[in-house]
Amino acid sequence: MLQVVAAQRTRDGAGVALARSIGSRALPMLDPFLMLDEIRSDRAGDYIAGFPDHPHRGFETVTYMIDGAMEHRDSVGNHGLLRGGSIQWMTAGRGIVHSEMPKQEGGLLWGFQLWVNLPKRLKMTTPRYQDIAPADVPEVSGSGAHVRVAAGDAFGAKGPIRDIIVAPTLLDVRVPANATFTHEASSAQSAFAYVLDGGLEIGGERIQIDRGHLAVLGPGATIVARTGSREGRMLLVMADPIGEPVARRGPFVMNTDDEIDQAFADYRAGRLTDG
């Protein structure tokens, strides 16, 4: 294990309360992952304002809902309703304007958004959207745990997300009490585990990682997670790094500051989504 990061409380969008681990001062990025935010609240005031129309260019956004409902609309005509267990994978590419707004007035809203970088050759690709219903996410038993395979291949199951540039693996793993879960990571991949509930001893060092903390895992390691008297749950995410310069400002991620300036100029002039 290389690092343990506690998610930091912040606000984004129109004032949504969230916890940020990747993209924080402690962990600005983990190539190719640019940001990981968790929304988890049963107080409507923490989320009801949502994320009104805002632009993106140069990367992909992944939304994974655990509980509650959010509605997606974008400038190229896509529309999706995310409920507990569903996934949305949006490739912003050369440019998109979208909104993500809660479709509830109270109760628990719990979900994640992960930003994934694109390589320079594909930053200006055509925007693309995949909306995956909960029933289409395979659930398997693997290494003594219950695993939802959102992306990638694991334990004989193939996730429903297709043709993603960085070919990530994204697993929602429940490890029963007093059990040990293992998973092999590629020698070249960046990998992290974010603990959703309970606590897990992760890695050969058996470091206890509690809810709301992210563990950066060493490349090529066998990922080991152990539980004590309570079940533990984590997101386990892996992908090959891109290894290119990153320039980021607000909603845009490119390779140079000049390209960021151009993205803002295109947005102001209404050219962001032009081909």
Residue 235 has pLDDT above 80, yes or no: yes
Residue 69's pLDDT band, with cuts at 50, 70 and 90, is very high
Question: pLDDT value at position 1?
Answer: 64
Averaged over 157-175, what is the pLDDT?
89
Largest pairwise CA distance in the chain? 58
Question: pLDDT value at position 187?
Answer: 73
Residue 218 has pLDDT above 80, yes or no: no
Percent of the chain topping pLDDT 90: 82
Which homologous superfamily does the CATH classification assign to the domain defined by 3-247? Jelly Rolls (2.60.120.10)
User: Average pLDDT, whole number, for the chain?
Assistant: 93
Stated pTM of the model: 0.95
The domain ranges of the chain are 3-247
Averaged over 204-224, what is the pLDDT?
86
Residue 221 has pLDDT above 70, yes or no: no
Question: pLDDT value at position 222?
Answer: 79
Question: pLDDT tens digit string along 75-128?
Answer: 988 898 999 999 999 999 999 999 999 999 999 999 999 999 999 999 999 999
